[in-house]
Chains A and B, each alone.
Chain A
């Protein structure tokens, strides 16, 4: 299939244009979020490939380097018929740098180039126009003005695009501009053909007076974070309940037709229980992806990153670490990938290694159970804050706190490659825009699908495995089952934590995937379908007599321990080091253990 390559600087509206051209005919991106990966879709009979945004072919950050490598590779490829460069009409000088460089590259491989001048609606809104014919002549390649949002000019553009892609030989390739002159020439072209920037930038600077102001900016930031945090509960919970009851009904239906015995139990508890234990996270991941996506597409996240830069630098991080840290609260895997945008390799590594300390969706059921056991419901803190809510907040905060502490330690002890210069923090502040639902919808959908594809199989298999170990030998009590036998064997390890063999087994199992803790504990307490009945399990645990200090220790254990094999795999892929990733897995486990034991022992003395 013939391929159209789509390139452009970040924030040029490429994602929306890609969506408009491909509709729903996109291959699910591996990890949704800021495009740090290559997305492929179909536009009529052509493959349209969307590459991560880059300011220039001299890639600085990891995501730019990846994009540039792919651009160079694809342009040389025979299957690529043409290159589509997306320009931002409101930022012509900046867009043309990459544009001219790519044009030159395409010329070297005899591929034609078309320029899409996006955001023409914003240009028109301020009463300006752009001489696309003049620009076209000056560039030596067709330039088409359009708005991916308002669809202005989109139809004609698509026709021209397909026409060029279908018969690339018919279109001349200009010899373009030598790389060294690209920056100079793009400024010159922008002066001749671009609009007066002051008109366009005036608005965003005015809004930034609020957003970046010490007081109002700080307040807005806190308010935004509060809404994000709240959404985890208010929006996600009803959806999660929905998923749970759906699974329950389904399980009940199937259970009604199978006879009593092993098969019935297997289907009911292992299969449906297994599915339930990971499907229930999908709504939360999708809600967080939605909110983070809204913040990003509106342009606000750049401002937040800017405000966080100085405080985060103190810990060895970058302002750009803020975004991965934020998405790490949904799932660490796309967050680690998002760290590719961090300008300094050293800071990027530290960020990646500390993302697992952010409380991801998988920890929520564990938190929910333990908070239900230890914190009285309906009681308030200082008369206004709900105690249970405050407990959750405390756990999330502890995760962030630990991440900053570990970052600072890593900053001091991680060997710095002094050969490579640390890149400085330079961040573009894009125009404030209303997010468009299409790319957002695509990303939210992807986040759910990708989680199911990635984490699903592991979690499911672990759940089934636990069930089997707890069920056999047949007709034995839980204590005498294989699970019980393992439990008794490892019990001494968990006694300093104030916990017995049942917790020990559940904790051990959850080192493969933390999601299974609740279900496993339920099985061990003799409760079926514990995932759906957290309150019931909480009661049993309380009745069983878990001490406050042991419970607190256990909660903190779950904040810190890295219990996700999928995350370790991702870390290995992104850092290139197996030793580092597995080392981190062991290190965080030990750290969690030390903290839990300390809390239990000290708490017991008080």
Chain B
């Protein structure tokens, strides 16, 4: 499933990041702590398709729909 589909307060592990994404974006995601094998938790989902809030790498981020749908995860709880 994609990161965008992760439910509120649920945790998951990143399995794949869309390779067709710009190299710079992938590098930035990795710097944020979002790379394959890393854990991510959904703090809250955005209302009406707005950015979702997630916790990863010890920080809290908001990420928009278009990017979150290109990250594959597998739920861990």
Contacts and interface: CB of A to CB of B under 8 A. Distances in A.
B58 A212 contact: no
B61 to A, nearest CB: 6
B interface: dominant SS? mixed
A310 B46 contact: yes
B28 A425 contact: no
Contact of B28 (A60, A209, A319): A60
A55 B58 contact: no
A283 B33 CA distance: 44
A405 B10 CA distance: 39
A91 B56 CA distance: 11
A310 B50 contact: yes
B25 A423 contact: yes
Given A190-B58, A429-B61, A424 B44 contact: no
B53 to A, nearest CB: 7
A426 interface: yes
A60 B24 contact: yes
Given A208-B53, A310-B49, A421-B22, A429 B60 contact: yes
A197 interface: yes
A92 B59 CA distance: 9
Nearest to A195: B58
Given A58-B27, A214-B47, A426 B32 contact: yes
Given A201-B55, A212-B44, A55 B62 contact: no
B22 A428 contact: no
B30 interface: yes
Contacts of A182: 31
Given A92-B58, A421-B22, A425-B63, A310 B28 contact: no
A309 interface: yes
Range for the number of chain A residues in contact with chain B = 35 or more
Given A58-B24, A187-B57, A424 B63 contact: yes
Interface string B1-43: 0000000000000000000001011011011110100100001
Given A212-B44, A425-B51, A426-B63, A194 B58 contact: yes
B58 to A, nearest CB: 4
Given A58-B27, A94-B32, A310-B51, 20 more contacts: A56-B27, A91-B59, A93-B58, A183-B33, A183-B35, A187-B38, A201-B59, A205-B55, A306-B50, A306-B53, A306-B62, A309-B50, A310-B50, A319-B51, A423-B24, A424-B66, A425-B51, A425-B63, A426-B67, A427-B51
Interface of B: 22, 24-25, 27-28, 30-33, 35, 38, 43-44, 46-51, 53, 55, 57-64, 66-67
Nearest 5 CB-CB pairings of A with B: A197-B58, A310-B50, A424-B67, A425-B64, A421-B22
